[in-house]
Amino acid sequence: MAPVLGCIADDFTGATDLANMLVRGGLRTIQLLGVPKSDSHIPDVDAIVIALKSRTIEPEIAISQSLQSLEWLQKSGAQQFFFKYCSTFDSTDKGNIGPVTEALMRALDVDFTIACPAFPETGRTIFKGHLFVGDALLSDTHMNSHPLTPMTESNLVTVLNKQTTLNVGLVQYDKIEAGLETLRNSFDTLKKAGVSIAITDSITDDHLYTLGEALADFKLITGGSGIAIGLPKNYQNANLVRLSKEASKLKPVTGLSLVLAGSCSDATLRQVAKFSKNNPSFKLDPVELDLRPAIIEEAIEWANLRMGQGPVLIYASAASNEVKSIQEKIGSEKAGSLIENAMGSIAKALVDSGVRRLVVAGGETAGAVVGALGISSLQIGEQIDPGVPGTITVEDPKIALALKSGNFGEVDFFQKALDTMP
């Protein structure tokens, strides 16, 4: 059978996050890393998630990769399409959420869709068009100083309007709480007013379930992974799939354990601090790395001497003041590139040394690591923490992976992931 849902995600951890939600809903799901080759063989699944590394690249390239992915998904038989981005709406005034959404709409001949990054389970909610992280507006969180996508505006209508030529509107929570008919009428009202993309409030999972039902006939959906919780039931009701509680069952993987952390988010910083108390840790400094590339080999040697006794951590995570200092010395793009290349090289060398259980924190870092390892597809397993499942590579050698968005996971996530991954 052909997959019913085809998804395009703008980073690797976000793709895993979405795949996790679909598997939890009972859909057999596979994740592909990068634009699939035309002859890529896909097993019998209900949903395919293509993970791109397109969040922070030039909009034109992001559009091109997204359209290539869409074409491949169409040829695979998918009937509904999902453009997935971060629940913190990570982007800049020039993109890439708006440009990619607009391009996908044009390619699918769609005149209306939604944008809903809400994920209440992880504290991401939208109220009157404003994105909250926990109790704080997005613009009042550490995201306001993100090195690549600083989010200084919490009104998503305002943010998205700067990125697209299309008109952006808003569906507030009361229209969703009023039920399916009122919600659909709100969509119709916006369409008649010339709106093409509607930011939708969402404060609770109940809102997401109602939205999911209202999206049954949409050709294109855009948002965070939260919106996916209401989709599997649509496919079952239409007799397109048979939901399975076994969708997340994977065979166990044994081998050496490694944690790599490149994210500088508050959540990851806390996780690094917690894990470092009981496990050997090695910090990569981009400034030092720029001056002395041999640090990569030193980190590899350091890890090889210790992994036999238990898991080790190699990290580049740093507090905001340290990040700012690094950016002033060598620039944010160069710093990011140095760390990504280093993490990729380290991962490749240590997998060659026997690492088979790998935790990676940060979307950009995850992209670099799976690219260096040549991984093209992942089977999606059970959830470790909200938004993060365990996975196993489809190709050999089998590697158990947990790819974590920088903002996700409890403070003990690293150890929990190593304990609970397949």
Which residues have a Cβ under 8 Å from the Cβ of 58 and sit 6 or more positions away?
none
Q: Sorting pLDDT into bands at 50, 70 and 90, what band is 1?
A: confident
Residue 92 has pLDDT above 90, yes or no: no
Residue 41 has pLDDT above 80, yes or no: no
Region 256-278: mean pLDDT is: 96
Helix (H, G, I), strand (E, B) or coil at 63: helix
- 374 by Cβ neighbours in 10 Å (0-12 / 13-18 / 19+) ranks as exposed
The answer, yes or no, to whether the previous bond of 422 is cis (omega within 30 of 0) is no
Out of 39-48, 202-211, 274-283, which region has the weakest mean confidence (pLDDT)?
A: 39-48
Rg for the chain, CA atoms, rounded: 21
Mean pLDDT, the chain, whole residue set: 93
Q: Sorting pLDDT into bands at 50, 70 and 90, what band is 393?
A: very high
CATH architecture of 256-420: 3-Layer(aba) Sandwich (3.40)
357-368: b (≥16 Cβ within 10 Å) or e: bbbbbbbbbbbb
Give the model's pLDDT for residue 146.
75
Residue 44 has pLDDT above 90, yes or no: no
pLDDT tens digits along 117-172: 999 998 999 999 999 999 999 888 878 877 778 787 899 999 999 999 999 999 99
Helices (H), 263-387: 266-276, 286-291, 295-306, 320-330, 332-352, 363-373
Neighbours of 418 (CB within 10 A): 21
Give the 3-state DSSP-derived string for 121-147, with helices as H, strands as E and coil as C: HHCEEEECCEEEECCEEHHHCHHHHCC
Give the model's pLDDT for residue 249.
86
Give the model's pLDDT for residue 219.
98
Backbone angles phi, psi at 106, to 5 degrees: -65, -45
Give the model's pLDDT for residue 324.
87
Residue 202 has pLDDT above 90, yes or no: yes
Is the model more confident about 306 or about 250? Answer: 306
Residue 23 has pLDDT above 90, yes or no: yes
Region 273-285: mean pLDDT is: 97
Sheet holding 124-127, edge to edge: 124-127, 130-133, 136-137
The answer, yes or no, to whether the previous bond of 341 is cis (omega within 30 of 0) is no
User: How many Å apart are CA 67 and CA 323, to the nearest integer?
Assistant: 34
Given phi > 0 = left and psi -120 to 50 = alpha, else beta, which region is 358? Answer: beta
C-alpha angle 53/420/350, rounded to 5°?
55
pTM: 0.86
Q: Indicate the domain borders of the chain.
A: 5-237, 256-420
Give the model's pLDDT for residue 42.
77
pLDDT tens digits along 323-381: 889 989 999 889 999 999 999 999 999 999 999 999 999 988 998 999 999 999 998 99
Region 295-311: mean pLDDT is: 98
User: How many Å apart are CA 306 and CA 299, to the nearest integer?
Assistant: 11
Provide the Cα torsion 103, 226, 406, 60; round to 10°. 0
Give the model's pLDDT for residue 143.
82
Give the model's pLDDT for residue 411.
97
CATH architecture of 5-237: 3-Layer(aba) Sandwich (3.40)
- For every residue of 210-232, DSSP letters joined together read HHHHHTTT-SEEEE-GGGGGGHH
- 251 by Cβ neighbours in 10 Å (0-12 / 13-18 / 19+) ranks as exposed
Give the model's pLDDT for residue 246.
84
Residue 387 has pLDDT above 90, yes or no: no
User: CA–CA distance from 133 to each of 89, 143, 176, 243, 412 (Å)?
Assistant: 11, 10, 21, 32, 20
Long-range contacts, stretch 136-143, CB < 8 angstroms, 24+ apart: 138/88, 138/89, 141/266, 142/265, 142/266, 142/320, 143/88, 143/90
Provide the Cα torsion 65, 70, 75, 81; round to 10°. 160
User: How many Å apart are CA 226 and CA 209, to the nearest integer?
Assistant: 9
